[in-house]
Chain A
């Protein structure tokens, strides 16, 4: 599988596990919706997933992005034990990862290339969809180092708070646009998982 294919696979949706803050665990199947443009109402996330200032103890300098995959939260460190917290979608089981990278590139309205397995199931899919409203990668993308992973937008707000990607992190478009404007190339990004006993 090529790097580009793997990158495209980041938005592949197979199944969903209820986020860690939820009391239940179940799975949902949601088909891909390339071209679908969500409404403003759909982008109104549950309160706990909306951007909000929170107490966040860390020794990382202000500006750092810390993603807690088990929590489905991305923290933008503000200093003085404060951070802005965003709800995100994360890698599904088997696609979790952790590490430290820097934002290597920023892209407005990134293009999308469906992975071959998706094209096999849906042969009529374009092999390339130019970025724009309705693109599964959403309004903005922040590339993490030289990896295949990105923090990107989505046209499926209902997937925020779930584990369903191949390792990328997704935010609703208004949130990723806001974050994009606050973080420059070179920003340190720390991806953490909560160890499972």
Chain B
């Protein structure tokens, strides 16, 4: 995993056919970026749903090789996000909690150029 902290354009979609244009919209969203911070314990700082302040989460990998972002401990817990892909700095995640996932869909984070 490369360093994640920085500013990102953030967009989401629910239908697969919207994925490509959502990626383009995430780039535009750098005008109001989402900041991923560096945690004090080697993790990264991101917001959980409902939080106004970020908390430190960690990159975790399960036995099947699936990657997650979430609190220290077991993988696949409701507080985790499944990492769908992390390619050339573009992070794509989905919440494990099905209710939260149904609300926010697939989240696309595109690194901003000035980040």
Contact = CB atoms under 8 A, between A and B. Distances in A.
Interface string A121-139: 1111111111111100000
A116 B34 CA distance: 12
B14 A126 contact: no
B13 A132 contact: yes
B13 A129 contact: yes
Q: How large is the interface on B (under 10, 10 to 19, 20 to 34, 35 or more residues)?
A: 20 to 34
A131 B52 CA distance: 25
Contacts of B18: 130-132
Contacts of B69: none
Contacts of B1: none
Nearest to A155: B103
Contact of A134 (B32, B103, B108): B103
Given A34-B103, A34-B104, A130-B18, A124 B48 contact: yes
A97 B26 CA distance: 33
B105 interface: yes
A133 B105 CA distance: 11
Nearest to A135: B14
A124 B51 contact: yes
A119 interface: yes
Interface residues of A, number: 22
A119 B48 CA distance: 14
Given A131-B18, A134-B103, A126 B47 contact: no
A130 B104 contact: no
Nearest to B11: A128
* A interface majority secondary structure: loop
B51 to A, nearest CB: 7
Nearest to B109: A126
23 contacts: A34-B104, A35-B14, A35-B102, A36-B103, A37-B102, A111-B25, A122-B52, A123-B34, A123-B52, A124-B34, A124-B46, A126-B104, A126-B108, A127-B10, A127-B34, A128-B26, A128-B29, A129-B105, A130-B12, A130-B14, A131-B18, A132-B14, A132-B105
Interface of B: 9-15, 18, 21-22, 25-26, 28-29, 32, 34, 46-49, 51-52, 54, 102-105, 107-108
Interface of A: 33-37, 111, 116, 119, 121-134
Given A35-B102, A36-B102, A127-B26, 8 more contacts: A34-B103, A35-B105, A37-B102, A124-B51, A125-B10, A128-B26, A128-B28, A132-B13
